[in-house]
Structure 1
């Protein structure tokens, strides 16, 4: 498969096409189908631990293979790193850098610091797990030494363009990468605690259990809403950005990323090829001045065409294809809710069942050997399916025959939807695309030829990566009496590049006069060009790697006095976070000194501050208010509303808020993902935060490691809460309690109803919306780490937080009283747990702080 790229495109910014690789076959599939780069995990510290993954020992061979083929390789080190893992991570990074890897994709702030300390030039890519949604996030990544930012998938094209404008104006510009195809997480990456909450398996550690793909019931004001066959309320359709490629190119994004490190090599080959060919076509059109998109972006669902590209993408893997958030918010289309697993190509509905045969009105091609499944609207149950044995066309309908006993036709019904889930012929074609040892996807080289009679022929060849070689003929040119070296003859001989990684892009003929050279010599020169270019390309990248720099240089000093840490309270301090004014009133009456408010409407913060100051009964009582978890371009008005409350301080959640509230008293919340001392030290010293909330991914042992690796005065720990599981742009209120698409036309059902999501085991989880219309699903059962409190006090921790969601004022008062008793030593953690568990409406379990400790 030859590349169809002309030199006229080289002046345009062609985004890099980045493909996933979970193993060697996937890497070959990506390379042979046109990927410019691949990303892959090793056996530790990557966000797809279920993938087959590569090992450190594979790196030299893998990188040599990739570089020979003109492809870059990026390692994913995109998880949080715990304190005891930092030393291993340092050695891991040295191996990666020494192997000539092209970049590492990172989530953890401390790991960014460590990389930049041991290597001043090794490229760092800020992972989508860093939840970067704004210019402030890009600036934050740049301050850590990152060279590229992978934006959150929730960013629309309009927002991407706005971020590009802002970072250009602020001179903090970094290349931006976006996901263009594949599975969409419903929650913001880096902010999903669902797997952690439900089973101690953290998505921030590569162990996502995919709870978003499960069925849920919608409970509104205590009643189950009849949504018919729509049960998969949190399962988005798969992202397909094929139709917005011109807009993405115009936006100036540097890299287009395909999701799928858990997918098969056929998927990688299929999707990579579709996007390679489509992107090349877009670049040709734009280079000719055609196809330039307008500045106004229309709503962009994928059209219901049956083009080969769409067919291939649906057969690769599809839960339905959609442009995701590129076209903005459309809650009616993002999640169709009818299934949460792979379907494929829609064939039609069953119209007749007779004599082991099924008739349907066909909407897409089907042939013997294809695999199909019958969808009766209950995908959670076992579904009938099998291979087609014979196909007979009857007018506008088709009769499908199956092998004897392959199907239980009693479980197939009239009206069932039929999906093609497998096309063996397509799979065979795809496997052939990366089979064998000879390169099948060739990348262009550009040759210039110089010479005259009596002088050697000089050929200068360069590739797209900037490698350049010069080869001279061993004999001189002579005057041609017949068959002179014309451009066509030179192209014919020097372009014979079969079985090499190259194809001839353009050839420039600068020969003087009519000259000739034996064909055998031209062939030798061609082979020499290939050999020298291959040798240059196979050289490992040589990054600077300081032998003297080490992790120990960055670890915070444990010798007092520590950096501006406030003194520990005389006795352990209880902090209470409330989510409405009634809870706040109840907390005030218990004499709590430090109060946090996280309300759905920040305008209510003014009233909350007024209540605290007017009802103040204890000295130095403070009220802190929380902005929403996510801030996007154009949303500073929300932060201004928060500041207008004139609270004592702010609970900051993201990079915009670190910047906006830089001159105010601030405490860093759990969403900053502080899991080790290098990260904690960075936030303390660069932003002057009074305290940091330890990451919710830490179990008790890891939390103890964090508190002993830096000052415990820097931290507070949440010991009672309804874990915020999903935090998402998807608005369940809008999608299923209205016919609107977004906040402009939904009628605001979030302000009128109390909503819960009921999972498969009967647990009901609380759904809340914030001022930005983002939803959070809170675990319906509160979790406590009370049994570990005394251990944490003994380590010097002085600040303990408890959080409420939908508790009544009476429950708030009772819970606060129990934790007061715990911190005063009047009851044990086990006694508190039993006491709260007796309050049936509240319901409390031992949380993942303990669950994870048992599993670690």
Structure 2
């Protein structure tokens, strides 16, 4: 049966979810989770919550799903140990360096790959399994056909977001809050700039980045048939009553096979919605109908919440099967025993029965009383009894014995078997390289290339793989220069249904002599290697610490691009076991979207004639086409560090990259000339990025 995973942003949230049928809850413990502003658990609160859940057969997953710096990793390992001792059933992780640390510190606790790892194809799931993950939370943008294909061949469990907020960007690939406000979504402090109003291309379209909440309640049976192991309800930042209402409706739909009624749908909308819900990604029906904004809470919503709270604070969801045995014999104390689904057993005895003068006790009467487990998490599934005739035993005595048995079982269920722990070891620190970083260049279009740029000899030219099949005239000077390596840049998203086309593009690139590919997702590594290409890692891998670099080396990458959310001090401090690269110029990518912003706002595909998004302050954010009509939202200001080369060049880097997006060929050449110290180019407005100020 599908596991229902519910949010618990507070201790009361745990009760709300558990008492409405959740099979598992996910909680934030400590400082390293993607909802730092939720009421995350202290150690003692977590211990009590884990014990409460364990007694009721509910699993507890701990979110450690943020990017973590080298200096923070020891604290993460220690927090994981505490959570392990108190009964964490799994850790949800984004950062591959954290994954590596947990494998050392708490080797017996399963690890789930967070949706922030942006796993969206079968190869990504397979690689996650090879790295030691036991479950993958799939990208929310997948359609049911893509999910079905993955589940058919997946070697580990898959989890799907079924209900709750949808980010406009692919999770893990959104840097908007970090770059424009220093509040990093990848570090757990997203300020949700996507929920603000934006205009586009002279149109008055509003809230172009604010998606409605997902709601797949009508498809849970189908999702189970696809082979999905777990459906997740989003909402740790929301109130406990929200978790109660939504979990209860999904529980009835999954466990009782009860289709949602009109009242259920109204209750879901009252609990939280943004002008209704969407099934757009699941049904592969993307478009403007998927967008909406939060509505004001009504009095009827408050009534629903009050009722939900009263119910979960005053009831017990009966989920634990228990069997009883009773023996009532003349001249002996009454004896009873109980055993639960985990083999825990309890035995008790009561008063000696007396001869019956009015009403004798029968096996049927005894069974009736033992089935009355209301107010406890137990449900009786069977009673064996031996009752001699002609005897009387007070009902109150039977009830007291039943209560004693269930109380003892509940205590025994809280016990936690010891689990092995280890020590996190960061390993020896490698000295930074002292030679000057090489210069690399990435472009979006062949039209951005020129003989002048080629003459400046960038060591590597990254170019989208789909561009390599177009008119190659501008590429000729780079192909003819043996000192320049051309690397095919893969899109960050490649669905399984798109691999055949991308394979053809890579084979075409190989005919040009291209031998390497730049990848921004773990799901593309074995794919390109299987086609005979060497792989380099792009910024989409979110490399934030030395341990992640070790993972990249173990996976066989030639190089890795560091996260542009790092500070220069952190970059210099990293132990670089693999060639590392840093983006030092360009419009940083803020979002990667499955929904086409351009078509949604204009009604037509005008990728080459779109002025971008305008925020409330009048800042313009260019929107460019990604592979298969996906979009990338770019920063309004260009990253410019030509006058800061002393700092970047002394950080032990292998390469520094100029990332060209909206520039024409003349601008590209002018920028590189300035970075080589030969020109005076400077953008009209620019930013230093996060390298000198960092993120929260």
TM-score, with normalisation over the residues of structure 1?
A: 0.75
Deviation at 1:627, TM superposition (A): 1.2
Deviations 1:310-345 (A, max 9, x none): 11111111102122422123214222xxx532346x
Aligned to 2:160: 178
8 Å contact 1:109–1:678 — kept in the other structure?
A: yes
> 1:550 aligned to 406, 415, 424, which one?
424
- Which residues of 2 match residues 647-662 of structure 1 at below 5 A? 647-662=514-529
Query: Relative to structure 1, is the Cα distance of residues 608 and 656 closer, same or farther in structure 2, using a 3 angstrom cutoff?
Result: farther
TM superposition shift of 1:66: 2.3
1:638 aligns with 2:501: yes
SS at match of 2:518: strand
Aligned-residue offset at 1:244: 1.0
Give the aligned partner of residue 201 of structure 1. 183
Q: Counterpart of 1:314?
A: 269
Q: Of 593, 602, 618, which aligns to 1:728? A: 593
Summarize the alignment of residues 821-832 of structure 1 with structure 2, pairs less than 5 Å apart.
Answer: 821=677
CA contact (8 A) 1:624 1:648 kept: yes
Summarize deviations over 1:76-107 as a string: whole Å, max 9, x none. Answer: 11001111111221222211112222221111
| 1:685 and 2:554 are equivalent in the alignment | yes
Residue equivalent to 2:640:
784
Q: Would the alpha carbon gap of residues 756 and 735 (structure 1) be closer, same or farther in structure 2, given more than 3 Å must change? A: same
Partner of 2:543: 674
Residue 342 of structure 1: which of 292, 295, 301 is its match?
A: 295
With the length of structure 2 as denominator, give the TM-score of the two structures.
0.91
Comparing 128-137 with 139-148, greater Cα deviation is found at 139-148
Equivalent residue, structure 1, for 2:224: 249
> What secondary structure does 2:693 align onto?
helix
Distance 1:23 1:583, change over 3 A: same
Aligned length: 686
Aligned with 2:659 (options 769, 784, 803): 803
Give the corresponding residue for 1:564: none
Who is 1:8 aligned against?
none
- Written as runs of structure 1 = structure 2, the 5 A alignment for 1:563-578 is 571-578=436-443
Q: Does the aligned pair in 1 maintain the 2:26–2:61 contact within 8 Å?
A: yes
Equivalent residue, structure 1, for 2:38: 51
Deviates more, 1:720-729 or 1:305-314: 305-314
2:439 aligned counterpart, secondary structure: strand
Measured after TM superposition, the shift of residue 697 of structure 1 is 1.8
1:647-704 alpha-carbon deviations (Å, 9 max, x no partner): 23110111232011224222100111111111101111222x2210001221222222
Match of 1:836 among 666, 671, 682: 682
Aligned residues of 1:576 and 1:592 also touching (Cα < 8 A)? no
Structure 2 counterpart of 1:485, from 332, 355, 362: 362
Q: How many angstroms does 1:185 deviate by?
A: 0.7
Identify the residue that residue 382 of structure 2 maps to in structure 1.
507
**For the Cα contact (< 8 Å) 1:157–1:327, is it kept in 2?**
yes
Match of 1:497 in 2: 373
Rounded Cα–Cα distance in structure 1 between residues aligned with 2:478 and 2:321: 77
Structure 1 partner of 2:215: 240
Conservation of the 8 A alpha-carbon contact between 2:461 and 2:484: no
Change (3 A) 1:462 1:775: farther
CA-CA distance at 1:499 after TM superposition: 3.5
What is the Cα deviation at residue 585 of structure 1?
Answer: 2.4
Pair 1:104-2:104 in alignment: no
Q: Distance in 2 between matches of 1:121 and 1:24?
A: 26
Question: Is this contact kept in 2: 1:134–1:631, CA < 8 A?
Answer: yes
8 Å CA contact 2:446–2:475 kept in 1: the answer is no
Contact 1:63 1:100 in 2 (8 A): yes
Q: Residue 849 of structure 1 is aligned with which of 679, 691, 694? A: 691
Q: Distance in 2 between matches of 1:610 and 1:513?
A: 99
CA distance in 2, matches of 1:143, 1:277: 36
With over 3 angstroms needed to count, the CA separation of the structure-2 counterparts of 1:801 and 1:603, relative to structure 1, is closer
> Which whole-Å CA distance do the structure 1 matches of 2:362 and 2:495 have between them?
60
Shift of 1:143: 2.2
Structure 1 residue 556, shift from structure 2 partner: 5.0
2:407 aligned to 531, 545, 564, which one?
A: 531
Report the CA distance shift for 1:157/1:542 in structure 2 as closer, same or farther (over 3 A). Answer: farther
Alpha-carbon RMSD:
3.0
Give 5+ residue unaligned stretches, structure 1.
1-13, 168-172, 286-290, 292-304, 345-369, 372-421, 561-567, 739-746
Give the direction of change, closer, same or farther, for the CA distance of 1:245–1:499 in structure 2 (3 Å limit): same
Once the two structures are superposed, the pairs formed by residues 306-385 of structure 1 within 5 Å of their partners are 307-319=262-274, 320-335=276-291, 339-343=292-296, 370-371=298-299
CA distances 1:520-550 after superposition (whole Å, capped 9, x unpaired)? 553343123212211122223532213xx33
How far the C-alpha of 1:733 sits from its partner, in A, is 2.8
**CA spacing shift, 1:625–1:450, aligned 2, 3 Å:** same
Give 1:7's aligned residue: none
Counterpart selection for 1:135 from 122, 146, 153: 122
8 Å contact 2:7–2:27 — kept in the other structure? yes
Helix, strand or coil: the match of 1:423? Answer: helix
Tell whether the 8 Å contact from 1:126 to 1:148 is kept in structure 2 after alignment: yes
Q: Secondary structure of 2:658's partner?
A: strand
C-alpha separation in 2, matches of 1:434 and 1:539: 24
**Residue 247 of structure 2 is aligned with which of 264, 268, 272?**
272
Q: Which runs of 5+ in 2 are unaligned?
A: none
Is contact 2:102-2:424 (8 Å) kept? no
Whether 1:263 aligns to 2:238 is yes
- Following the alignment from structure 1 to structure 2, what is the Cα–Cα distance between the partners of residues 129 and 786? 32
Deviation at 1:735, TM superposition (A): 2.4
